[in-house]
Amino acid sequence: MGSSGGNRNLDYFVAKLTPHEDMLFIDNMFWLKFRDELRGRNLILLDPVGFRFNVSVEKYGYNGRGIITGVENIVERYNLADSYWVFFKYKGDCKFDIRVALGDFEVNYHRVESDKHDDVQPVENEDDPEEGPEEPLFMWEITLTKAAASGANALVIPARIVRDILDKNQEVVNVIDEGGELIPCKLLKPKRRPSERYLSSGWYDFIRGKKLKAGDKIRFYSDDSMKSLSAVVDCI
């Protein structure tokens, strides 16, 4: 499965935000790294247009896992009717930049209305890109086919990821699962299609190790570097 050690060197994590809940769990490996700095503290969360959320960090349960409380304000701010994913990037001094997304769609941070059916739009189609985030959050979602779940298919990297952030000479992408394990995956560049990229060896280990099956969904998240890629699995 590749080397362990998780995302101890990373300053971001992804968490699921569900309406009607007032807390979310902090990624375990991130918590182990920063718990002494964050435990019992008030946090400042800033969205891409500078809107500020004040939340708190507490420990939860017998194992003292970290949680963030007060997140109902995020749900209310963006009128979220479904479960969304929140991308937290730690800036130090108990401050985080956040992004809120569902699959390949990100909330419109400028337009906050009460219509819960019109609260998202594609990241790439912002009405005023000059006022948008300076550092894009790259994300995409796949549903495993039978062939992909068997490990027969490589993972296709979306064209916009290849175009915008992959290094031309990059050979490896580290896939990080929800438990923090890091799996180095070889990046393939087809000779006949030089604009395309695929993850091969390592990716097969990820699929088999998770015992994934056809229909399972995987969401991928990265900041402005594809050196590492967070993978969140939803099993059917």
User: Residue 71 burial (CB < 10 Å; 0-12/13-18/19+)?
Assistant: buried
Q: Which residues pair with 88 in a beta bridge?
A: 13, 98
| pTM score | 0.59
- Please give the Cα distance from 229 to 21 (Å, whole number): 27
Give the model's pLDDT for residue 60: 76
Q: How many Å apart are CA 24 and CA 100, to the nearest integer?
A: 13
With residue 208 as reference, give the H or E element that holds it: helix 203-210
Tokens standing for residue 85: 């994913």
DSSP secondary structure code for residue 161 in this structure: H
**Is pLDDT at 137 greater than 70 in this prediction?**
no
Is-contact 107 86, C-beta < 8 A?
Answer: no
Q: What is the pLDDT of residues 155-165, one digit of tens each?
A: 888 887 888 77
- Please report which confidence band the pLDDT of residue 167 belongs to, taking 50, 70 and 90 as the band edges: confident
The average pLDDT across 101-112 equals 74
